[in-house]
A and B are shown apart, each in its own frame.
Chain A
Amino acid sequence: MNIIVCVKQVPDIEKPVKIAGKVIDESSDFVLNPLDEHAIQQAVIVKEKLGGKIIVLTLGPERAKQALLRCLARGADEAIHLKTDNDCNFDSTAVSVILAEKIKTLPFDIIFFGGKAVDTNSGDCGVQVAKIFGIPCIPEIIKLEIDNEKVVAVRQVDNGEEMVECSLQAVFTCQKGINELSILPLPKIMQAKRKPLKVEDVCVNNRFSEIIDLEVLPNKRGGLILEGNPEEQVKRLVEIFKKQGILRE
């Protein structure tokens, strides 16, 4: 089974967001996108069952190498870093086109993505890459069973859960709950540095959108604590709801 996992390095959203002009400040902390961690883990689970090879792929600046090393530590066999000098964070189509160009040169049966990246919050790339190749995509899966011929996956849909069967080649994007993440032991992190990691410079020529503005939301909430005993507090709250006009309907 030839498996490709596409991952992304994102700002650590548990820390305050720092912005420089229209982009993320480079002095921010960056981590492997949390759902991509599940994607790589799922690739490892499939490889353990069926054998094969896992290639992990990312597009990003120099620092994105750290995300690849983490994937290698989790069990990827090889990594490819499509290195850019400029950021194309919010242009999913541009990213997908470049990823697809590279994937075209690699043998694959399955491609895994994380369900979405915490920075862009879009989840486009898995669907887009599948469309470019004309192969099925099952987004946001929470369960995957696979043998050499066919795949059964459970995905979240708007009004419930759907179990689907599909043929390979296919793209799957992973949602939380698909697997449990083990803690990475230090020896594996050390070994990762000895695994093959290829760097290829790419230029993002074809852009489909541009950033006009990026602004951090001010925290405007009042944070007012209601005084009094429970009856008084509830009475006050109901008055506020009335003012909000919620109860008129």
Chain B
Amino acid sequence: MENIFVFIELESGAITKSGIEVLGKARELADKYSKQVVGLVLGNDFNNFAGLLDCLARLGADEFLLAESDKFTDYNSEIYGKIICGEIEKLKPQIVLLGSSKIGKELAAQISAKFLSCCFQDCVDIDIEGDFLKAKRLVLAGKAFVTLKSKCSQFQVATLRQGIFQPKIIGKDAEITRMDVPADLVSRIIRKEFTGRTSGKVSLLGAKIIVSGGRGMKSGENFKILEELADVFGGAVGASRGAVDLEFRVFDDQVGLTGKTVSPQIYIACGISGAPQHLAGITQAKFIVAINKDSGAPIFKAADMGIVGDLFEIVPLLTKSLKNLKGEK
């Protein structure tokens, strides 16, 4: 039986939401086309994360490979790439799936170069036709969809966009195997320093609700009202390039062509005029709300719903009424 190989990314010892979604999709394909799902997890000190293994076991894989080493505490592209490519070489899977985080994408590119196969990044849909992977991706700055079909029957690589695929819980526990990890893992890349994300507590990728601000926010401090609104939903705060250029927010928060491409259920654009570069990042939002003073702003044409008005009045009102509504329940 052909294998679907899934790499599961951990974050602080927990399985990522994206990892759960990728496993769900892998299971769906495996059931449909009678294939096996083999998952690989790299981490350190699994015993310290009680519940992780029980949780993993039911997310859709038939088998899990656990690789444990202190070398896996922080991501290192060379070390991770070496271990993953090594396992893929042994298993010779038909398909390799990863989440479309920066790590997932980098590993996918490595795998495709190593085994000379297709590399479909950030897919919004995938399927198998015959022996070949078919994938749909957003291209041309979010203005078009391309559907691609692999020409290789093995090692076909794809990363799946966050927040699109459904997780699955299965009744059967996956078999968990601990892998032997080589002791001499070295890399020419050495991490010297790490600065964690400071602004915006919730990650933009995978967030269900995103509240974004632009130049119209006038200052970085004013983003506080957007954070309060986002908090009501447990959402994330983003920014336009204009706001980032004015240093209201850090680049990591930037939504748009050079920043992040997001796909929330609701995107609330506050004081954002709607330059094509920004719109390119939000085409996959299910519902877009625009709040802007300027009724001629292009954002209103790209939004499902618009409020022409003062965001400093509208946003706190919205936060308040949503809070009241939550209080009633």
Which A residues lie at the B interface, using CB under 8 A? 11, 13-14, 17, 19, 24, 34-35, 90-93, 96-97, 118-124, 127-129, 131-132, 135-140, 142, 152, 156-167, 170, 175-177, 206-217, 219, 221-226, 230-231, 233-235, 237-238, 240-242, 244, 246-247, 249
Give the complex CA separation of A118 and B257 in angstroms: 7
Answer whether residue B90 sits at the interface, using C-beta atoms and an 8 A cutoff.
no
Most A C-beta atoms less than 10 A away, residue of B106, B113, B142: B113
A162 touches B308 (CB 8 A): no
B251 contacts across to A, CB distance below 8 A: 142, 156, 176-177
Contacts of A132 in B (CB 8 A): 113
Set A24, A159, A206: member contacting B197, Cβ < 8 A: A159
A238/B318 in contact, CB under 8 A:
yes
- Given A167-B188, A240-B305, A241-B266, A121 and B138 contact (CB-CB distance below 8 Å): yes
B143, A221: Cβ atoms closer than 8 Å? no
Complex-state Cα separation, A155 to B148, whole angstroms: 30
Which residues of chain B are within 8 angstroms of A217 by Cβ–Cβ distance?
142-145, 283
B195 & A160 in contact (Cβ 8 Å cutoff): yes
Which of B97-105, B167-175, B216-224 lines the interface with chain A? B97-105
Which chain B residues numbered 106 to 121 have a C-beta less than 8 Å away from chain A?
Answer: 106, 108-110, 112-114, 116-121
CB contact between A162 and one of B119, B142, B147, B191 (< 8 Å): that residue: B191
**Complexed CA–CA distance, A135 and B78 (Å):** 9
A93 x B113 contact (CB < 8 A): yes
Q: For B313, what are the chain A residues with a Cβ–Cβ distance below 8 Å?
A: 230
CB distance from B287 to the nearest CB of A (A): 6
Q: Which residues of A contact B276 (CB under 8 A)?
A: 13-14
Encoded as 1 (CB less than 8 Å from any A CB) or 0, chain B from 250 to 279 comes to 011000011001000110000000001100
CB distance from A112 to the nearest CB of B (A): 16
B244 to chain A, nearest CB (A): 9
Interface residues on B, range: 35 or more
> Do A162 and B193 form a contact, CB below 8 Å, given A124-B121, A223-B300?
yes
B residues neighboring A (CB under 8 Å): 11, 75, 77-78, 81, 101-103, 105-106, 108-110, 112-114, 116-122, 134, 137-152, 187-197, 203, 205, 208-209, 233-234, 251-252, 257-258, 261, 265-266, 276-277, 280, 283, 286-289, 295, 300-310, 313-314, 317-318, 321-322, 325-326
A35 to B277, CA, bound (A): 13
How far in angstroms is the closest Cβ of chain A from B55? 20
> Can you name the residue of chain A whose Cβ is closest to the Cβ of B252?
A156
Which listed residue (A123, A142, A176, A223) contacts B105, Cβ 8 A?
Answer: A123
In the bound complex, residues from chain B placing their C-beta under 8 Å from that of A120 are 139
